[in-house]
């Protein structure tokens, strides 16, 4: 039996990993241990760990590592805590493989803790180009990881260019393809009982908004969010807004949202902490336009063709489908882009990030991997 420890660090992290975890968890030849950490455990981000449990997974460990403050130093210290705490968990579980996804700072800590204890590291979504410090974290994880499952062909080539062995890199596509496929079986708008603000009438058009701070520009996060909110005021449409992540600058983004709601009580806006994957995908599909800088608007929404207004630099360089148009943080430009995208309507669905069946492919390859400890840099010819 193969022993695998999967580390989940935030809500999006779990949403994309879920179909892979489900296949591994149901396999009698796999002993899967799920470790929840980061914002998975925090109420103000929706306590996503409870979603994991409701989905039938057994969470072996819940590790608190996040420091309040939303400044660069708290992010750096939280990485340190993740290394310390996860080192203890790995030592006790003694997995043959550690499985992580993406570019979160907490995932970087999880990667360091694994490889320095000689546990074989598997990384999903490596090789992608993005804005902010996330890109550096992603590439650092790639250089630590022993096996790679990139989501696009360009990412696959990027990983090889970084000196990774071709036999360790498996061009798979993104598990989000399966998340969308599963959610599309019903694709009904969820019953939105949570959140605060105006009730949303789903018989009418609505926007879906999610804006995270850019860690390298955290000092201007509040101002940037104000520009986005003022653009929403100009468009004046029902809006579902999801609270930002915990990165440096998130307090500024949150303050801007609270003040805006207070001074614009008549605006049809409802704010939510989190959505389960099965609820989030129908919202992506049915929204008139997606506005913000979440990677889900580029990756997950690409399978649906929903128009996107990408705001700011957080996703600079990330591969995107034609449905995405990018603007700087200016209320007039944002409002104009939203109006343009709504007039355009749905775009063709894209397979840039893969086709359904990705999760089965990843899980079957993982089951046959050889446990390795020492990596060697491959010099390109």
pLDDT tens profile 270-322: 999 888 888 899 999 999 999 999 999 999 999 999 999 999 999 999 999 99
- Kindly state whether residues 103 and 226 are assigned to the same domain: no
135 and 202 fall within a common domain: no
- What does the pLDDT read at residue 186? 66
Q: Specify the pTM.
A: 0.93
| Within a domain: 11 | yes
pLDDT at 202: 85
Domain count, the chain: 2
**Are 254 and 167 within one domain?**
no
The answer on pLDDT for 191 being more than 80 is no
- Quick one: pLDDT at residue 190? 63
- What is d(CA 168, CA 370) in angstroms, rounded to the nearest whole number? 10
Determine the 3-state secondary structure of 289 from DSSP: strand
Residues of the chain above pLDDT 90, percent:
80
**What are 104-120's pLDDT values in tens digits?**
999 999 999 999 999 99
159 and 219 share one domain:
no
pLDDT category of residue 230 using cuts at 50, 70 and 90: very high
Residue 25 structure tokens: 């968890």
Secondary structure of residue 299 in the 3-state scheme: coil
| pLDDT averaged over every residue in the chain | 93
* Model pLDDT, residue 180: 92
What is the distance between the alpha carbons of residues 181 and 222, in angstroms, rounded to a whole number? 36
Is the same domain home to 209 and 160? no
Which residues make Cβ contacts (< 8 Å) with residue 240, sequence separation at least 6?
A: 192, 195, 200, 206, 207, 208, 209, 270, 272, 283, 287
Give residue 236's pLDDT band: very low, low, confident or very high (50, 70, 90): very high
Is the Cβ–Cβ distance between 46 and 279 less than 8 Å? no
> Rounded to an integer, what distance in angstroms lies between the CA atom of residue 294 and that of residue 266?
26
Instruction: Give residue 48's domain range.
Output: 2-174+354-366
CATH of the domain at 31: 3.40.50.2000
Reported as a single tens digit per residue, the pLDDT across 329-374 is: 999 999 999 999 999 999 999 999 999 999 999 999 999 999 987 8
In a domain, 58, yes or no: yes
Query: Residue 38 corresponds to which tokens in the numbers above?
Result: 């980061």
pLDDT (0 to 100) of residue 18:
95
CB 200 within 8 Å of CB 240: yes
69, 80, 105: which is closest to 249 by C-alpha? 69
Residues 144 and 200 reside in one and the same domain: no
H or E segment and range at residue 354: none
At 224, the pLDDT band (50, 70, 90 cuts) reads very high
Predicted pLDDT at 248: 87
Tell me, yes or no, whether 168 and 221 share the same domain. no
Q: For residue 116, tell me if it sits in a domain.
A: yes
Res 3: pLDDT: 97
Per-residue model confidence (pLDDT) at position 150: 97
For residue 186, tell me if it sits in a domain.
no
List helix spans (H) across the chain.
Answer: 11-25, 48-54, 72-93, 105-115, 132-144, 153-161, 176-183, 221-235, 250-263, 277-286, 295-298, 331-344, 358-366
Same domain? For 145 and 246 the reply is: no
Residues 161 and 208 reside in one and the same domain: no
State the average pLDDT over residues 120-144. Answer: 93
Half-sphere exposure of 92 (CA within 13 A, CB side): 8
- Tell me the pLDDT band of 187, cut-offs 50, 70 and 90: low
Instruction: Report CA-CA distances (Å) from 50 to 149, 218, 274, 275.
Output: 27, 30, 12, 12
Same domain, 327 and 359: no
Shared domain check, 207 and 83: no
Q: Which tens digit of pLDDT belongs to each residue from 48-96?
A: 999 999 999 999 999 999 998 878 899 999 999 999 999 999 999 999 9
Q: Which residue has the higher pLDDT, 88 or 378?
A: 88
Q: Based on the domain organization, do 25 and 166 belong to the same domain?
A: yes
Average pLDDT for residues 182-191, to the nearest whole number? 72
Report the pLDDT value the prediction gives residue 275, as an integer from 0 to 100: 87
């Amino acid at each position: 039996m193969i022993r695998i420890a999967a580390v989940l660090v935030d809500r999006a992290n779990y949403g994309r990993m879920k179909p892979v975890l489900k296949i591994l968890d149901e396999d009698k030849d796999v002993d899967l241990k799920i470790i929840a950490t980061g914002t998975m455990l925090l109420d103000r981000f929706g306590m996503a760990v409870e979603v994991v449990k409701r989905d039938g997974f057994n969470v072996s460990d819940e590790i608190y590592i996040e420091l309040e403050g939303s400044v660069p130093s708290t992010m750096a210290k939280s990485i340190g805590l993740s290394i310390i705490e996860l080192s203890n968990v790995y030592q006790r579980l003694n997995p043959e493989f550690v499985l992580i996804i993406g570019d979160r700072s907490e995932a970087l800590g999880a990667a360091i803790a694994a490889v320095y204890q000689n546990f074989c590291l598997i990384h999903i979504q490596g090789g992608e180009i993005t804005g902010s410090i996330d890109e550096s974290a992603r590439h650092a994880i790639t250089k630590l990881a022993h096996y790679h499952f990139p989501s696009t062909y360009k990412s696959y080539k990027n990983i090889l260019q970084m000196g990774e062995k071709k036999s360790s890199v498996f061009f798979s596509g993104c598990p989000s393809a399966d998340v969308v496929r599963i959610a599309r079986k019903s694709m009904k708008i969820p019953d939105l009982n949570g959140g605060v603000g105006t009730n949303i009438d789903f018989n009418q058009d609505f926007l879906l908004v999610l804006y995270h701070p850019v860690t390298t520009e955290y000092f201007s996060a509040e101002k940037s969010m104000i520009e986005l909110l003022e653009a929403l005021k100009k468009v004046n449409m029902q809006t579902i807004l999801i609270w930002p992540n915990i990165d440096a600058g998130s307090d500024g983004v949150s303050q801007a949202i609270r003040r805006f709601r207070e001074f614009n009580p008549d605006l049809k806006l409802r704010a939510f902490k989190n959505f389960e994957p099965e609820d989030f995908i129908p919202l992506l599909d049915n929204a008139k336009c997606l506005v913000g800088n979440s990677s889900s608007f580029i990756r997950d929404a690409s399978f649906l063709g929903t128009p996107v207004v990408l705001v700011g630099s957080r996703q600079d360089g990330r591969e995107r489908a034609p449905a995405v148009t990018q603007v700087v943080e200016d209320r007039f430009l944002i409002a104009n882009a939203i109006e343009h995208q709504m007039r355009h309507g749905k775009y063709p669905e894209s397979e840039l990030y893969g086709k359904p069946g990705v999760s089965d492919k990843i899980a079957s390859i993982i089951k046959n991997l050889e446990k390795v400890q020492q990596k060697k840099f491959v010099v390109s010819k």
